[in-house]
Amino acid sequence: MSKVITPRSEDYSKWYNDIVIQAGLAEHSDVRGCMVIKPYGFSIWENMRNALDEMFKATGHVNASFPLFIPKSFLSKEAAHVEGFAKECAVVTHYRLKNDPEGNGIIVDPEARLEEELIVRPTSETIIWNTYKRWVQSYRDLPLLINQWANVVRWEMRTRLFLRTAEFHWQEGHTAHETKEEAVDETLKMLDVYANFMENWIAVSVIKGVKSVNERFAGADDTYTCEALMQDGKALQMGTSHFLGQNFPKAFDVKFLGRDGTEQYAWATSWGVSTRLMGALVMAHSDDEGLVLPPKLAPIHVVIVPIINKNNEERKAEVDAFYQQLKNDLGKDIVVKYDEDDTKRPGFKFAEWELKGVPVRIAIGPKDLDNGTIEIARRDTREKMSIPAQNAAEYIKNLLDDIQENLYNKSRQFRELHITKADNFEAFKNILETKGGFVAAHWDGTTETEVRIKELTKATIRCIPLNNAREEGVCIFSGKPSKQRVLFARAY
Amino acid sequence: MSKVITPRSEDYSKWYNDIVIQAGLAEHSDVRGCMVIKPYGFSIWENMRNALDEMFKATGHVNASFPLFIPKSFLSKEAAHVEGFAKECAVVTHYRLKNDPEGNGIIVDPEARLEEELIVRPTSETIIWNTYKRWVQSYRDLPLLINQWANVVRWEMRTRLFLRTAEFHWQEGHTAHETKEEAVDETLKMLDVYANFMENWIAVSVIKGVKSVNERFAGADDTYTCEALMQDGKALQMGTSHFLGQNFPKAFDVKFLGRDGTEQYAWATSWGVSTRLMGALVMAHSDDEGLVLPPKLAPIHVVIVPIINKNNEERKAEVDAFYQQLKNDLGKDIVVKYDEDDTKRPGFKFAEWELKGVPVRIAIGPKDLDNGTIEIARRDTREKMSIPAQNAAEYIKNLLDDIQENLYNKSRQFRELHITKADNFEAFKNILETKGGFVAAHWDGTTETEVRIKELTKATIRCIPLNNAREEGVCIFSGKPSKQRVLFARAY
């Protein structure tokens, strides 16, 4: 086939990019840092979105929509937040264009300057808490459990499709609560929702943990995270859930009359996952033939390729009949694609559908029809088997479950094999250079040490796992005492 | 109840705003011209979006995502388009903020000026056709049938919730075709999809027609429209479908190798509906008590209000049982809300649910329980009836269909009664001032006359209906000959 994917072993980064482009998931646009999500890629994102949205609603959340723009002054209201987000932003300064009086096309009308600049939202805490101020008066107005599906912009200098783009799509949940305890529960509940989605839909094993102070969201009291490992041994932060304390409620003056008659500030959380999950999906399972999709997120589950001479209408009709029967038997939740395009050779089609990661491929030739069999190939292991045609639907249903499970198990095994303990800095560096993955090491708890380790090794603290085992030890860098190991890794 | 809606008869515009605010649909944000769509309003929009998305997919379209930003130079590439859209836009000129060295908070970093300004998309023809250039080489790549759900920004000076806001949500379909005929067919097909949705979901009767040259989309060869009448006799453009000819393909050099081996430009369409439909929904059906929702778009179909003394647990349990039974019988597509909040009086609840437009309300008191009956109130006519509790599910299913149909019929009747012929300019003006609605009048076909009539009467040509009757006549304004009547109206 014409499309060639750079092998992982040769250039992992190019391999990733080749798959994203050649499987038709996304491409760079002519607008710096902004991608075009192509129809096939978007249909996978739609499946992610629908599954997550259902989970959010099942946990009592509702959707709403807040403005794309944030007045510059809003960013300054929360001290930590402004440090984190008032940096690389898209800034709207004018609201009109006009014809250049000197005839050089259209120009920005200098008279249409905004009194206050507007920032294209990099995240929406400020505009949302500014709104909640109007919505929260009494404890009866709480909790607010609101989510928004939106596009956000962060002016990244080095971009990579899905993993880091200037504009990206995400959901951001923003909740307001009566008590601290309820807000903490919400933060952890949504972390569990994320982990459940990542493991049971994307089929990627994740470690749930809490971030170090240095890696916290700007404006959070605690940031919880789901961290996964990609095939190159680098970590990817898949999603975060923040306990925001009363920081934004205080900055935006969101007070309510409590049950005890006193005025109180609300408690806040926010949580988000983005199109970055598409990058995780690609990197976690794909191989040198292309994308490998977990069945629960695949836009097409089964492709049927007839291997029949194009003039043999009678035999073709038999395959048509098989397709119709299978489609009926599988029901509407399993999407079957019938690739009857006779301008392409079967081998070409096989490669195309492998590239696109369709979990199950069925080939049917004259011999199969004679024998009442079909040839089934599973994308994850690339195994082929011949089975009786009449058992196809039942077999495929089980096979899809099996593929989903197999992908997850592979991911979990890989992750388990790539948590390595290091008890001194030499060993630590050695693991990062050779094996990669997470390194479980003692750390003295200071930002200073963390930053220094990052400077020297490019490894960051990915998280302190929830329910981490207590263990006396000494920091691999400073030698100071430590009560637990934390997980370091080089990360995307 | 505390919430009061200004009667339509007193101030139509205020009535509309009161309903949008008090039913919890949307509100103004602190960002000029940008609204917040509140959860209840957003759930109605989600229902619209899901229904439309299903229709788009059923007609062969797929979704994708294109950049939020458009380089300024792209707007200039299509001559008519730049005149229409390069005006009131949000212009991004910088990509960084920094701390003011003089200590006055954060400022725009003057060193981070973009080489070329970016416009927040007011519509996406330019960026999308710039992308299609890479996707279209051969007739085999056609048609492209792509839709995008997106937010867009047009810097409107006078805004009204849903009807005219700086940022709004919409879908924009952008298709590329091999032949002119196919593109025209697509344009009309999508007009039919829109009309079907508007009539059978929103329950608003529309007139399908083509726009005059003056009212065309900037860059279109023909603009088709669905026009509806609101209760105040003003017209509302509900959605448009554009045949773009080869204008954008030529401007962005989208050529393909045709079946005959020659290089040809593609043919283009675009079509869109927006959150403006929410405004139409509110204005078309609501009354002085609040919102009236067509069942097919209602987030809640049935509300049950128990009228039981809060200490009478036994009787309350009987109502609980009825609710559970009804919920089961109605199935998951009909949403039943059980309002058992005992801090509010039944009368207050009735008013609240009327305000929110829930199609069917059920009240159950001790007498009903004794008699095995329930009291049902339909929101559209505000009629009440007592029916046997055991027939509830069947009765409600029929009632919801009946309400949907009744709303549409009322809208159709109103529209039919408000198309009035005028044969001279005095009569024309008189109808506009007194009766309102559409005025069917002869027009000489010139933009000059159209513009003059608009200046004098604020009425515009809403459309030339499809399959319009041919009729010899003279223009009401110029006296020049005319071959057909066109529909004028004052419009939103």
> Could you report the per-residue pLDDT of B300-337, keeping only the tens digit for each?
999 999 999 888 999 999 999 999 999 999 999 999 99
Beta bridge partners of A438: A419
For residues B216 and B272, membership in a common domain is answered with yes
Does position B452 have pLDDT exceeding 80, yes or no?
yes
The average pLDDT across B133-139 equals 97
Q: What residues 152-171 of chain B have any CB closer than 8 A to a CB of chain A?
A: 153, 155, 167, 169
Yes or no, beta carbons of A96 and B87 under 8 Å apart: yes
Length of chain A: 492
Q: What is the ipTM of this complex?
A: 0.96
Which of A28, A69, A174, A253 would best serve as a mutation to test chain B binding (most B beta carbons within 10 A)? A69
Evaluate whether residue B98 is within a structural domain. Answer: no
A86, two tokens: 């008032």
Does position B71 have pLDDT exceeding 50, yes or no?
yes
Tell me the C-alpha distance between B38 and B22, whole Å. 11
Q: Which helix (H) or strand (E) holds B30?
A: none
For residues A145 and A214, membership in a common domain is answered with yes
Which of A78, A94, A95, A99 would best serve as a mutation to test chain B binding (most B beta carbons within 10 A)? A95
Q: What is the domain-level CATH number for residue A449?
A: 3.30.110.30
Q: Is A67 on the interface with B (CB under 8 A)?
A: yes
For residues A169 and A252, membership in a common domain is answered with yes
For residues A309 and A281, membership in a common domain is answered with no
Show the domain range for A328: 302-399
The average pLDDT across B90-104 equals 90
Cα A419 to its chain centre, rounded Å, is 22
Domain boundary residue among A339, A371, A399? Answer: A399
Q: Nearest to residue A217, comparing CAs of A240, A249, A235, A188?
A: A240
Does position B397 have pLDDT exceeding 60, yes or no?
yes
Q: Which are the contacts of A492, defined by CB distance < 8 A and separation ≥ 6?
A: A163, A164, A230, A234, A235, A236, A237, A279
Cα B345 to its chain centre, rounded Å, is 35
The average pLDDT across B216-238 equals 97
Q: Which residue has the tokens 């404890």?
A: A139
Does position B206 have pLDDT exceeding 50, yes or no?
yes
Tell me the C-alpha distance between B166 and B146, whole Å. 25
Which residue in A36, A73, A130 is closest to B65 by CB distance? A36
Evaluate whether residue A93 is within a structural domain. Answer: no
Contact A267, A177 (CB under 8 A): yes
For residues B270 and B351, membership in a common domain is answered with no
Evaluate whether residue B82 is within a structural domain. Answer: no
Cα-Cα-Cα-Cα dihedral sign, residues A295, A298, A300, A303 = negative
Residues B406-427 have pLDDT tens digits of: 999 999 999 999 999 999 999 9
Does position B272 have pLDDT exceeding 80, yes or no?
yes
Q: What is the domain-level CATH number for residue A372?
A: 3.40.50.800
For residues A125 and A193, membership in a common domain is answered with yes
Yes or no, beta carbons of B92 and A97 under 8 Å apart: no
Q: What is the domain-level CATH number for residue A174?
A: 3.30.930.10
Yes or no, beta carbons of A91 and B92 under 8 Å apart: yes
Yes or no, beta carbons of B94 and A96 under 8 Å apart: no
For residues A279 and A307, membership in a common domain is answered with no
Domain boundary residue among B285, B316, B343? Answer: B285
Evaluate whether residue A272 is within a structural domain. Answer: yes
Evaluate whether residue B276 is within a structural domain. Answer: yes
Q: Which helix (H) or strand (E) holds A487?
A: strand A481-489
- pLDDT of B2: 46
Q: Is A39 on the interface with B (CB under 8 A)?
A: yes
Which of B97, B168, B275 would best serve as a mutation to test chain A binding (most A beta carbons within 10 A)? B97
Q: Is A136 on the interface with B (CB under 8 A)?
A: no
Yes or no, beta carbons of B64 and A36 under 8 Å apart: yes
Tell me the C-alpha distance between B210 and B194, whole Å. 14
The average pLDDT across B191-210 equals 98
Evaluate whether residue B111 is within a structural domain. Answer: no
The average pLDDT across B447-461 equals 98
User: Count of CB atoms within 10 A of residue A89's CB?
Assistant: 28
Looking at this protein, which amino acid is placed at residue A274?
S
SS3 letters for B15-30?
Answer: HHHHHHHHCCCEEECC
Tell me the C-alpha distance between A325 and A321, whole Å. 6
- pLDDT of A349: 97
Confidence of residue B465 (pLDDT cuts 50, 70, 90): very high
- pLDDT of A84: 81
For residues B334 and B266, membership in a common domain is answered with no
For residues A277 and A310, membership in a common domain is answered with no
- pLDDT of A1: 44
Q: Which helix (H) or strand (E) holds B423?
A: none
Q: Domain tally for chain B?
A: 3
Contact A139, A263 (CB under 8 A): no
Q: What residues 418-447 of chain A have any CB closer than 8 A to a CB of chain B?
A: none
Tell me the C-alpha distance between B127 and A257, whole Å. 50
For residues B348 and B268, membership in a common domain is answered with no
- pLDDT of B3: 66
pLDDT in tens, chain A (492 residues): 446 899 999 999 999 999 999 999 999 999 999 999 999 999 999 999 999 999 999 999 999 999 999 999 998 888 787 878 778 999 999 999 998 888 778 899 999 999 999 999 999 999 999 999 999 999 999 999 999 999 999 998 889 999 999 999 999 999 999 999 999 999 999 999 999 999 999 999 999 999 999 999 999 999 999 999 999 999 999 999 999 999 999 999 999 999 999 999 999 999 999 999 999 999 999 999 999 999 999 999 999 999 998 889 999 999 999 999 999 999 999 999 999 998 999 999 999 999 999 999 999 999 999 999 999 999 999 999 999 999 999 999 999 999 999 999 999 999 999 999 999 999 999 999 999 999 999 999 999 999 999 999 999 999 999 989 999 999 999 999 999 999 999 999
A302, two tokens: 């089964």
For residues A173 and A44, membership in a common domain is answered with yes
Q: Nearest to residue A165, comparing CAs of A28, A53, A357, A38?
A: A28
- Strands laid side by side in the A91-94 sheet: A69-71, A113-120, A91-94, B91-94, B113-120, B69-71
Q: What CA–CA distances, in Å, run from B425 to A196, B133, B416, B432, B475?
A: 69, 49, 22, 11, 9
Residues B8-32 have pLDDT tens digits of: 999 999 999 999 999 999 999 999 9
Yes or no, beta carbons of A36 and B153 under 8 Å apart: no
For residues A57 and A159, membership in a common domain is answered with yes
Beta bridge partners of B287: B290
Yes or no, beta carbons of B106 and A46 under 8 Å apart: no
- pLDDT of A311: 87
Domain boundary residue among A369, A399, A429? Answer: A399
CB-CB neighbors (< 8 A) of B44 in chain A:
none
- pLDDT of B152: 97
Nearest C-alpha of chain B: how many angstroms from A115? 11
- pLDDT of A3: 66
Evaluate whether residue A78 is within a structural domain. Answer: no
Q: Is B375 on the interface with A (CB under 8 A)?
A: no
